[in-house]
Copies of this chain bind each other. A is one copy, B any other.
């Protein structure tokens, strides 16, 4: 979501959502904004220590003006080699990726990169809690799908060539994440059920 067009689309989408959102309660914020607000609430209430990682940037040129902050004058977005979010909850390592789609019928696997899957597989192998948060923004529905449940659909694409997961599958194999005013995407409510 952080690459040229993705970036562009995202900001346009975000703007339109914010307009649409007036008077729609939990509608209108991007998934990332909702998760950041949720993580801030978890930290403020000392429930968990989970952060979004900074966007990886390849810094090419930096200008150092006298008596003022360094300015990056040339940089490029790099593909993240890990998931966007990780941290610590109830003594366990938590690691997840979050994606939203405007698609009505399926989640396109192109939203995830292969090296992110490799990372998620090693998190699972080393005893971490790992999952995806998937939002269908048209329906304003957000699901938690455990990594172990997701992997077979990812791997399957290299056999049958199916490059997406049907909406119904995510409804049935995933867990609907409740909305709360402060914990806007209260994913730890699901984590408590699944992993403890």
Contact with B along A1-30 (1 / 0, CB 8 A): 001110110000000000000000000000
Using a Cβ–Cβ cut-off of 8 Å, how many residues does chain A contribute to the interface with B? Answer: 46
Q: Cβ of A169 < 8 Å from any Cβ of B?
A: no
CA A48 to CA B76, docked complex, whole Å:
29
Copies of this chain, tallied across the complex? 2
* Residues of A contacting B: mostly: mixed
CA A57 to CA B61, docked complex, whole Å:
13
Q: Given A73-B74, A74-B72: A91 and B127 within 8 A (CB)? A: yes
Q: Check B88 against A51 for contact (C-beta < 8 Å).
A: no
Q: Cβ of A64 < 8 Å from any Cβ of B?
A: yes
Q: Cβ of A59 < 8 Å from any Cβ of B?
A: yes
Q: Cβ of A128 < 8 Å from any Cβ of B?
A: yes
A interface, CB within 8 angstroms of B: 3-5, 7-8, 43, 46, 48-49, 51, 53-57, 59, 62, 64, 69-78, 81-82, 86-93, 95, 119, 122-123, 125-128
